[in-house]
Every structure is written in C-alpha cells, then in structure tokens.
Structure 1
Amino acid sequence: MPRPSTPSIDDLLTRLLRIAEDLAWSWHEPAQRPFAMLDPIAWEARNHAPIETVLSTSKARIAAAAADACFLQALDAAERTLADARRAPRWFKSNHRGRDRRLKVAYYCSEFAIHESMQQYSGGLGVLAGDHVKSAEDLGVPLVGVGLLYRHGYYRQQFEADGSQRILYPTYDFDRYPLEETGSSVACPIGRRSVTARIMRLALGDTSLLLLDADLPENRPADRRLTEGLYKGEPDLRMRQQVLLGVGGAMALEAMDERPTVHHLNEGHAAFAAVERIARLVEEGTDRSDAVARVRASTVFTTHTPVPAGHDRYPARDAAAVMSSVLRRAGFTSRSFADLGRETPGDRSEPLCMTILALRLAEHVNGVAKLHGEVSREMWRSVYPEAETLKDVPIGSITNGVHPGTWLDPAAAAFWRRHIRLKPELAKPDEAAWSKATNVDPAAAWELRNVLRARLVGSMRDRLVRQSVQRGDDPSERLAAGAGLREDALTIGFARRFATYKRAPLIFRDRARLAAMLNDPDRPVQIVFAGKAHPRDGEGQEFAGMVYRMSRRPEFRGRIAILEEYDMRIGRELTSGCDVWLNNPIRPHEASGTSGMKPPMHLGVNCSILDGWWPEGFDGRNGFEIVGEPKRSGAAARDAADAHAMYEVLEDHLIPEFFARGRDGVPKRWMKRALRSAATIPGPFSTHRMVADYVTQAYLPANRP
C-alpha cells in the first residue's frame, strides 16, 4: 500500500493560517490542538495566539510537523471540526420562516472579548459582547458586530513591591491578528473635521466583526488617538471615540453593503448611530418625525449600568459641536438634539446623557437581569413622563449569560459528555441535559473537582513565581511565591473588574477572624484574587493594591494570592478551578455579573449577595446567600454588616460542609450542592438562551415595524 505523500511546508502553513483566520477556533478546542502541538512553548508564551505561534516556530520544527502523522491527523481533525460547525443545523433557520428570515442585526459595542490573545476588551461588557456574537454564530442568528480596533487595547497590569500598579500600554501588531483588511474605509465627520478610518474584519465562522481603525497617516495626531486605546484619555476624547463608534460604525455598515434590519446598541456608547441613521433617512426624503419613528422602531438598546454616575454625560454644546455635520443633515438644532439626551428637555444647564439619548431613540430597551430591569425603570422613570406607574416604564430585562464553548473546560466537557450525554457542540437555547447533573455519582464529580483545583494551583504557583521574578525579588522570595498554596485546600475565587462597588477588600474587614479561618490546619482555605480597575479610578486601583498588600502579610502568606493581568485565560483557569466563587457587591449596584455563571459548569458553587443575576439563579440548594444589609445607614455600617454576614456563611456553613467527609473521603453534602449548581445554572444562564431571548423579545419585534 503506497504511503501518503508528505505535504510541503507551504501547504502546511496555508492550512494552519486558514484555521487561524477563522476565530471559531477560539471556542472549538480541537481546532487549537495543531498550534499547541507545533510548538507548545511558543503556544503558551504567545497567550494561545495561533498566527504568532506559527510565525515564531522554526522552519525545522514546521518541517518535522509536516512529516508527523499524528500532527497531520490533528490538523485534519481541526479542519473537520470547523467545517462540521458550519454545516450543523442552526436553531434560527430551523425555527423561523418568512419575513423573520430576513432579520439582520447590527450589534454595536465599544469592546469585544473574543480571545485572550487579542486584548480588545477591559471587562464584563466586552466579555458579554464577545459571547453574544459567538452564540449568534452558533445559533445561526444573522448578525454583524461593529466596534473599534485599538492599537494599545486595554492596559497591562504589574504590581510593585508596595502594591502600587504599573500601567503598561503595549502596541499590538495587527499583522499578527487574524484580521482581514477589507480595502474599504469611511470618512467620519467629527466636529469640523473628517476622520478617515479603515474597516477591518474579524471572521467568526459566518459572522463578522467590523472594526474601525483611525490610526492612519492621513489623520491628524489627535484623530489617530481615537483608536489608540480602550477607555483612555479625557472625556472629550471619549466623546469623539463614541462619534466614531456610532456614526462611523453606521457608515461602515453601508460601505460594506451590510443591510441590517435591526440595530442593537450594547450600552450607550454607540447612541450616535441612531442620529446618523435619522440623518440618512432625512437625506433620502423622509420627514424627520417619520425618520425618528422608523429608527426608534428598529433600534434595540441594552443598558448595563445601574449607577447614575456610571453613564456618560457631556456638555450639550460640546456634543452638538462634534455632531454638527450629522445634525445639519438630520435637521436637528443644537437645542433639539441636546433635549433628546436630557431627563428634562429645555433645561439648558443639564448635560447630554448618552444613555438617555439611546433610551429616546430605541423602542426596545432592556436591562441585563430582572433586578437590574427594576432598578432601570426606577432610575429612568423621568424619561417616560407618560408612564403612570413604574410598571409602565418601557424597560424590560433579558438576563445575561455565558458562552458554553468559550468557558466550558475541555476536561469538564468530556466529563459531562460521559455522565449526562451533554453535546456542547450542538447549540440550543434550552439545553436540558444539564438537569441530569444531580444524578451523577458524587465520587466521580469530586474526582473531577480535585483535578481542576490541582491544575489551577499549579498554574497559580507558576504565575506567582513569574510575578516575583518580574518584581526583582530576591531568591528566597521567589522560592516562597506560591509555595503555601495547597491542592487540597478549599479554594475561593474573587476575580472581576476592581470597581469600588464590587468591594474586593471587604473580606479583610476583620483580619483576625479571616486569618483564623484560613490557617486552620485541619481545614485549609485559600483565596485567589484577580482583576483590574479603570486606569483613572484611583480608589479602584487602591483596592487592588490593598489586596496585594494583604497577600504579603505574614498571617495571609500562602493563603491569599492576587494574580496580575486578569484576562480571559486567567478567567477560564479560575472559574474552572475554584470551589467557590465569591461576590459581595453593594446591592443593587451589580447590573448582572457573569463570572459566577461559569464555575457551576465545573462543579463550583457561588457565595454571593443577592444582586445582579444571583436572585434568579439561587434556589437555596445550589450555592450560598450572603444576607447583607444594603439599607444600613452609612457605608461603614453597611460594609461591617455585610462582612459579618459573609464570615457567618463561611464559618457556619460553607467551610464545615466542604470538609465534612465520608469514609470514602467525599464531602457528600457539598457535592450534592455542587451537582445542584451544575443542574440549575449552566442551562438557563448561557448566551444561547440569552441570544434566543433577544431574537424573540427584541430583534423580531424590531424587524416587524
């Protein structure tokens, strides 16, 4: 029998790069294996970036791979996996007919978290947007994403010895991103100037992300800064970025001959898109009031911020100035435009609020959890004077979720395939297989939990040693870094954006009480933190520094760790490896939160104040509730009461239950709770369910004006 011919190096590179250029590889694990096999060290060092891995691999190693039958089988499997994903039956097409099939959604967001190798995101908003786009692709919902392409991305984080943080802005080489240069550009009017932005495309299967890049030689230096970094700069720069996102984004859709029937503004940053769409209709001869009505009917707006101070507000005169060209085309005066973004139209002292502008120009509005919907109706009641009661305020809710393919660890996926016949490659809004998790043998589930925790501890040790080396610690410090972490310790995770309302340092309120819990030799407990604060949020930065300094105190050495450079990769390691996910925000300041939806897929449980999504997820048996006192007068009294409630849950319930072992070493009550967590949370709180809700509750109604 003749032996198969060995492919040439050029053919091999062509096949590898073809996979790399379709970002569907980022949530189909078999498609990642050839790159990991090609050069495991480069794969890890490049943060799992396929193109960078290929470009940094020696010709000799590539030649060896071309002659390696195992490698070629893995390459075949990778190509087959992506081809099968594209051919798989899609929920949208199978369940919708006629006019509904003509739906096309334009989804605007200021950040998209697709993969850790592309730092185009800062936190939860970007992660949610990336998961939304991936689920749209998996379900076959016709959607195109619209955003900006940032040369620096978000900042890189390093801790100094005193807990202060270095804010580093790397410059990314877009030639090493899986970007397609479309050859098209837009000339976006911003004030008196026109800013040129090229349109770059990211492919996720059949779904595209269109990203605008203004860092071009033909633009002035000030205009090139528009896509320099995410959430960098003063308010004026941020406002002009939002003109590029909204107005430039709408122009990019037209330039690419995309014809969306529905425009989804994910947060108020893109609200100017609605004004540009009105201007375009008016130019075509539509009466302005009719143009406003048509744009409203076809616009979906999702608000994510339950705190009034978190909504962008700009001086009305400045906003009218940067939008002057668009306003002339739309027939708006500066005053009529400003009134669209004011709670009290006619009040010239009130600035323009991007959220209110989006509320007034969108008919379909939602918060991101049921509680957040209630908070939003109360917060924005004045925008709807016709609403007689709070229930009449036309703001609904669609609870956030997480993308299973992105966040479900491959080892856990294999476990669930075997034990409940889960098929994660088949995207469904209502995955019923998870409900069978309560029938799984607790001993088998405990074995998986131990494996995932041990892997996390190994990774944390490596990271802490690298952090120590980078700080210039002496050899004894390097040896001690991470040495105290134990694979058998109850591991609690707290990883999220270090906004002050999330109260990362709350658990340190009574240090002696905490130290007693963590240092019990018979019941070892360890806590791992990770997260970044906004670079201009001094108090949030100090919270991170405080946690770092606590981790260096003698009573917490080896029991508290904080990891630098929180990104999607660290997020996956923590949410798969931790036994408990801790959340203690000031209620009701958490709009949704999604990090806590990920541990249950890995038999982790939540311990949280009833805020965000947790009031919908908690059933009394699938996690723990911190019964805080949000209405205590004064922040200090509230924090003290909430910290005391947290300690009581940990001391009286959580820690004893975890260490109550049977003769076989299995904590049966704990595993019953963990399996209940797996049975009740991953199905309802996936972005497959979330995107299907958007289709039925918002997209299709907006598609049928």
Structure 2
Amino acid sequence: MNQFRGQPANNFDLPEKIARLGKLAYNLWWTWRPDAQRLYSWIDPYLWEETSQNPVLFLRKVRRTDVNAVIHDRNYMKHYKKVLREFDTYMEAKDTWYLEHHRDLKDRRIAYFSTEFGLHQTLPIYAGGLGVLSGDHAKEASDLGLPFVGIGFFYTRGYFTQHINDDGWQTADEVHVSFEDLPVLPVLDEDDAPMTVSVDLPGRTVLARFWEIRVGRVPLYLMDTNVEGNSENDRRLTARLYSSDLDLRISQEIILGIGGVRALRKLGYNPDVWHMNEGHSAFLSLERAYEFVEQGFSFDEAVELIRSSTLFTTHTPVPAGSDEFPLWLIDKYFAELWPKLTLDRESFINLARHKVSWGETFSMPILAIRMAEKINGVSELHGQVARKMWQFLWPDRKEHDVPICYITNGVHTGTWLARSMGILFDEYLPEGWQTNLDDPEMWEDVLNIPDETLWEVRRHLKRKLVAYMRERARQQWLKDTIHPVQVVAAGALLDPYMMTIGFARRFATYKRAGLILRDFDRLLAMVNKPNMPVQIIFAGKAHPADEPGKLLIQEVYRKVKKAETGGRLVFLEDYDMNLARYLV
C-alpha cells in the first residue's frame, strides 16, 4: 500500500532547477526545518511573512523575476541542493528509531483519532492544546518512523480570527479556507472523483470526502462533508470546531468515529492499534463492534477484541469539560444501531451511562474508558485527578488502584526549538542529538554551553518577540484604527530585557487566567518595582459560544489597559501557533 494517496497538482510556474520547491511545499516537514523555510523566505522575505509562512500560497504569489534571481545565486542553489538532499534522506531512511528497535513490528499500523490537529498557523483546524498535542504527536511519529496514520476533520471555515475591542470584548471573524492555497491534497478514487464514505444519520445518509496532509513520513486524513449530494445543512457539519449545538456536535462525533473507521478501511488500512485522543472519537468503538458482530462474534467478545487494541488519552481535568449527550439524543441517533450490535436500549445506554445531578447522560469519556485497555492522563497530577474523577466506574477499587496511568505531555522539539537555539545545540551537544532526545546523559552536555553564550541567545529571542509584538501593534493601528491605549495593551512598551511571564492558553474559566489579578495592588507593586519590574503577557481565545470565557478575557483586558500598569501587562489577540513560537 502506498504511504500517500493524494497527488500534488504542482502547477507552480517554477524554473526546472528549483521545481522541487513545489513538491516540498506539500509536505509539512518544512514546518520543523528552518533551513527548508529559508528556501522560500530567501526569495522574498516580505511575501513569506505576508502569506503567513505558507509555501503553497507563497509560490502562487511570488514574482517570476524574484524566482529567476535566486537560480543565479550560487549560495541559494547550494542551500537548495543541501535541503533537498536532507529531505530525500529523511523520507527514504531505513534506520529510523522504530525500525531499529521494533523491526519485527514494521507491518503493524497505529491509527490516531483526534478532533483537531495543530500543525501550522496556515491550517486553522485547531483550537488549543489538544490540537497542538495531536500535531506534535504526528510530527514525532514521523521522526521516529512509527507506522502511524491520523484521522480527523478539515474544518472548511476553520477556527475563528479573534479581535478584542476597546472594552475588551472578543469578536470572532469567520475564516474561509481556500484549499488550493494550502498544503492539502484531495484523495481521489479510480475515476478521479473525490473518495468518500457514507454515514447514516437520522433520516438520511451523509457523505464525507478525505483530504490528505503529509506530515513528514506520516499521512493524515481529514474528513469534510462539504460534498455534492449532501444537503446544505449537512455540508456545513464539518465547517467549524466545537459547536454548542448538540445535534451538530453528536453528528460530528459520529462522523469522526464511525466515518473515520470506514475511511481507514476504504483507504486500505487495517490498524493494529487504535488511539483515541480525547473522547470525541469514542464512537469508533461502536463501528468496530459492528464489524466484529458481522463476522460472527458476540458483542461481549467484540468488546474484548476492541479493548485489547485500543488506547484512550483523557485531557479534561473537570467533569464540565467532558462531552456528554442527553439520552433522548442517543435514542434519536442510535436506535437503529443497537439491534445490529445484538443489544437492547438499556444495554446500549449502559455502555456510557453517567448519572449526574440533573439526570442521566451518555458520556463519551466513559464510552472511551470502557472500550480501551490502556487509559492515560497527560501529567502525573492529571493522572491523580482523572483517577479521582472516574473512580466510580471501579466501585470495588481504591482511588490509587484505578487503572488510569499518566504520560506527561511533551512537545515536538523541531517545531518549538528556535533556529538560533538549535545552532547552539549543534555546536555543544553530540552529533545526532535530535534523534536521542530522551537520553538524559546527552543533555548533560548543555552544561558545557557558556552561560554568557546561552544568555545572549535568550536575549536575542526576547528581542525578536518584542519586535514582533510591536510590529503587530503597528499593523493593528494602521489597519484597524484601534485606540492608542490598545496599542499599548498590545505590547508597544514592553522591554525585551525585563523578566517576562507568559499566560497563553485557551480562555476557559477553569484555566483561571484571572487568578493573578485577584490582588491587583500587590501585582502593581511587582510590575512597577524600581529596577526589577515584571512584565506579563496574556494571550488566548474563548470559544465564541463561551460567554463566561469571553467575560474573563474582558476582565483581564480591562486590567491590562489601566495606566498604572505602565504598559507592562499585555494582551495579544488572535493567539495562534506562530505567536506561540515567539513566546516559547
């Protein structure tokens, strides 16, 4: 089976000498390789930034005269050949970590389901940390050579663009995605028509097509219901992340779970391991159960087979963050399925029944927990919280015996390491350090970096952050006619050499962004301390339907605007992965 199914159209007007820039643009390997990004920024650095560092859009817009100029630049051509050599070596490697350590499992396959993937700012299909973790998992799977395939959604209207008005109120501008300008490829069938799967929803059948994103060696397939043959309402099912409409939400999760399994089958995959990143995709277990029952297994036997090959990662630290559906909605969407599973209604509901103060619900995390053999939280503390949250599912066990472990969230080093810091590591760490990131002894060599050298790199990166913030503030003032106080609130007065604290997260109330503001007088004393002031940068979005979250942003922003902060409290609007890289 081919690793990739989409075919790049590559209709860029490029000279033959650098024609492979087009193919490279469609593999997100460049997102974690600064030298690869320089192949584009070298041609026109201003256009590179204007296109949000999107090589596909860049190549569609760049002037031919600028392209022609670099093919006569010996330094550029030398760099071009070096980067393409590295790309080919990476893609064709036979000595990956996985093949070196688990060659006997090379024909096994891992399917990874997530409702969002944070891969790059040009792909607005993520809302926060869950998506960034999914994207980093895909990139690290590529680096390690894991036999990994991802399944998710391509949200045709993306996540929103955030603006903060003078009173601190968040407004959300819709994003309109243009597929031809993104590093995304259509998956076509033998007739060159969009490959689709069908999923039954009440009273109709909905089609979903697939888009392919190449993440290094890893294929990621994203479903989209904006397909001819669907009703207008159904074409919008995958338009946006995290709708507050329960019918739309459950429809999305049915498509993700049930449709995702069918998509993998149609693409020729038969995964050996199924990983649910949060409970949104838990309906995949029902589709797999149906497959086993059709093969002659009992439902209980099917559950055991599913559990033996399924992992579930839970992220939510509070019950309110879990997806739960009222039982009448489950009746509406699944009444035709449970007989096919040889279950009655009560048995089906019991798979995920959750008794709460206002009644009973069907809980997606509970379904995922019951259908997975391995369950993990995302930090040691979160593992403790999760065991306490879900202990009632194991009434005969003590809290510490609840079978939920933890795996601390990490990051994909290549994505989040600044180029200048990477150059420093290349100089002082052993050769090949990038492939030995989990070796504690290797990191001992960091101590060999002279303090003043490391500190100068840090100062350089802080200068870049402040310069970026000031330019953003300038552009906001030029284009949006914002009030001068908002320019200050956007970071125009920050000092790159002062201690700076960042709080950049999704503005859900349980993340407590306003906690540091509770004793405001004490905070003012800290930020205005002579010779030792502290600066604080806030950034983050609230879901458009999350009124408490938007009120929290407003509370923070009103404090940021106060003159007595001296411009040392800052709120940066429209937080995305590009801003995040400057912050870290």
Give me the TM-score of the superposition, normalised by structure 1: 0.77
Quick one: which of 259, 279, 283 aligns to 2:270? Answer: 259
- Cα deviation, 1:65-92, whole Å, max 9, x if unaligned, reads 3333333223222212212223442111
Secondary structure, counterpart of 1:9 in structure 2: coil
Tell me, yes or no, if structure 1 residue 358 matches structure 2 residue 358: no
> Which residue number in structure 1 is paired with residue 481 of structure 2?
472
Per the alignment, residue 376 of structure 1 pairs with 386
Deviations 1:648-705 (A, max 9, x none): xxxxxxxxxxxxxxxxxxxxxxxxxxxxxxxxxxxxxxxxxxxxxxxxxxxxxxxxxx
CA drift of 1:466 comes to 2.2
Q: How does 1:550-569 map to 2 (within 5 A)?
A: 550-569=559-578
Question: 1:477, 1:533 → 2: CA distance?
Answer: 19
The residue that corresponds to 2:6 in the other structure is none
The equivalences for 1:299-318 within 5 A come to 299-318=310-329
- Unaligned 5+ segments in structure 2 are 1-11, 189-194
- The separation in 1 between residues aligned to 2:387 and 2:218, in whole angstroms, is 33
What displacement does 1:192 show? 2.8
Deviation of 1:234 (Å): 1.0
Report if the CA contact (8 A) 1:8-1:66 is conserved: no
Q: What is aligned with 1:503?
A: 512
Letter in 2 for 1:94: E
- Say which of 410, 417, 431 aligns to 2:419: 410
Task: Verify the 8 A CA contact 1:493 1:574 in the aligned structure 2.
Answer: yes
SS at match of 1:219: coil
Equivalent residue of 1:226, what SS? coil
Amino acid at match of 1:214: T
1:160/1:471 contact within 8 Å kept: no
Q: Distance in 1 between matches of 2:432 and 2:494?
A: 35
The equivalent residue for 1:90 is: 96
Equivalent position of 1:457 in the other structure = 466
- Cα deviations by residue, 1:205-233 (Å, 9 ceiling, x for unpaired): 22110110101231112211211011134
Matched to 1:75, the amino acid is: Y
The 5-angstrom pairing of residues 542-581 of structure 1 reads 542-575=551-584
- Counterpart of 2:296 in structure 1 is 285
Q: Is residue 30–residue 81 contact of structure 1 (8 Å, CA) maintained in 2?
A: no
Deviation at 1:331, TM superposition (A): 2.5
- Is the 2:490–2:572 contact (alpha carbons within 8 Å) kept by the matching residues of 1? no
Name which of 509, 513, 522 aligns with 2:531.
522
In the TM superposition, residue 420 of structure 1 has moved relative to its aligned partner by 3.1
Indicate how the Cα distance of structure 1 residues 79 and 351 shifts in structure 2: closer, same or farther if over 3 A, else same.
Answer: same
> Structure 1 residues 429 and 229, CA, compared in 2 at 3 Å: closer, same or farther?
same
Counterparts of 2:67 and 2:537 in 1: how far apart (Å)?
39
* Structure 2 residue 493 is the aligned partner of structure 1 residue 493: no
1:111-130 equivalent positions in 2, closer than 5 A: 111-130=116-135
Q: Which residue of 1 aligns with 2:39?
A: 34
Contact in 1 for aligned 2:224/2:238 (Cα 8 Å): yes
What is the aligned partner in structure 2 of residue 651 from structure 1? Answer: none
CA distance change for structure 1 residues 477 and 405 in 2, over 3 Å: closer, same or farther?
closer
The alpha-carbon deviation at position 166 of structure 1 amounts to 1.2
Counterpart residue identity of residue 376, structure 1:
A
Alpha-carbon distance in 2 for matches of 1:395, 1:480: 43
State the alpha-carbon separation in 2 of the partners of residues 394 and 471 from structure 1.
Answer: 53
Kept in 2: contact 1:161–1:471 (CA 8 A): no
1:67 aligns to what SS in structure 2? coil
* Shift in alpha-carbon separation, 1:220–1:529, aligned structure 2, 3 A: same
Letter aligned with residue 501 of structure 1: Y
| 1:227 corresponds to | 238
Q: Is the 8 A contact 1:139 1:428 kept in 2?
A: no
Aligned partner of residue 196 in structure 1, secondary structure: strand
Alignment root-mean-square deviation, CA:
2.3
* Contact 2:436–2:442, Cα closer than 8 Å, also in 1: no
Instruction: Please list the CA deviations of residues 166-208 of structure 1 after superposition, one character each: whole Å capped at 9, or x if unmatched.
Output: 1111111011122221112101112232111111111112211
Q: Residue 493 of structure 2: which of 480, 484, 502 is its match?
A: 484
Asked if 1:73 corresponds to 2:78, the answer is yes
Q: Give, in angstroms, the shift of residue 547 of structure 1.
A: 2.0
CA contact (8 A) 1:282 1:288 kept: yes
Give the match's secondary structure for 1:351: strand
Question: Is the aligned partner of 1:135 residue 2:140?
Answer: yes
Q: Give the AA of the match of 2:413.
A: P
Cα distance in 1, alignment partners of residues 548 and 90 from structure 2? 45
CA deviations on 1:221-257 (whole Å, 9 max, x unpaired) are: 2211211011134122111100010000000000000
For the residues of structure 2 that align with 1:516 and 1:106, how far apart are their CA atoms? 52
Q: Using a 3 Å threshold, how does the CA distance of structure 1 residues 508 and 32 change in structure 2: closer, same or farther?
A: same
User: Aligned pair in 2 of structure 1 residues 192, 70: CA closer, same or farther (>3 Å)?
Assistant: same
Return closer, same or farther for 1:469/1:244 CA change in 2, 3 Å cut-off: same
**CA offsets per residue over residues 1-44 of structure 1, 9 Å max, x none?**
xxxxxx99342563111001111111122111111112211110
Relative to 1, partners in 2 of residues 1:172 and 1:302: Cα closer, same or farther, differing over 3 Å? same
Which is further off, 436-445 or 35-44? 436-445
Q: How many residues align?
A: 566
Which residue in 1 is equivalent to 2:167?
A: 162
CA distance in 1, matches of 2:560, 2:238: 36
**Is residue 218 of structure 1 aligned with residue 229 of structure 2?**
yes
- Which residue in 2 is equivalent to 1:208? 219
Q: Which residue of 2 aligns with 1:244?
A: 255
TM-score, reference length from structure 2: 0.92
SS of equivalent to 2:111: strand
Q: Which amino acid aligns with 1:221?
A: E
Q: Is the 8 A contact 2:489 2:570 kept in 1?
A: no
Q: Give 3-state SS (helix, strand or coil) of 2:522's partner.
A: helix
Q: Aligned partners of 2:414, 2:438: CA distance in 1, in Å?
A: 13
Alpha-carbon distance change, 516 to 476 in structure 1, aligned in 2, over 3 angstroms: closer
Tell me which of 3, 26, 30 is aligned to 1:21: 26
Question: Match of 1:632?
Answer: none
CA drift of 1:126 comes to: 0.3
CA distance in 2, matches of 1:430, 1:544: 41
Offset of 1:339 from its aligned partner? 0.9
Q: What SS does structure 1 have at the residue aligned with 2:200?
A: strand
Report the CA distance between 1:97 and its aligned residue.
Answer: 4.2
Percent sequence identity over matched residues?
39
- Distance (Å, rounded) in 1 between the aligned partners of 2:523 and 2:480: 27
Structure 1 residues 472 and 407: CA distance shift in structure 2, 3 A: same
| Structure 2 counterpart of 1:412, one-letter code | M
Q: CA deviation at 1:510?
A: 2.5
Instruction: State the Cα distance separating 1:574 from its structure 2 match.
Output: 0.5
- Which letter maps to 1:493? G
- The separation in 1 between residues aligned to 2:559 and 2:113, in whole angstroms, is 40
What does residue range 574-589 of structure 1 map to in structure 2 within 5 Å?
A: 574-575=583-584
**Secondary structure of 2:222's match?**
strand
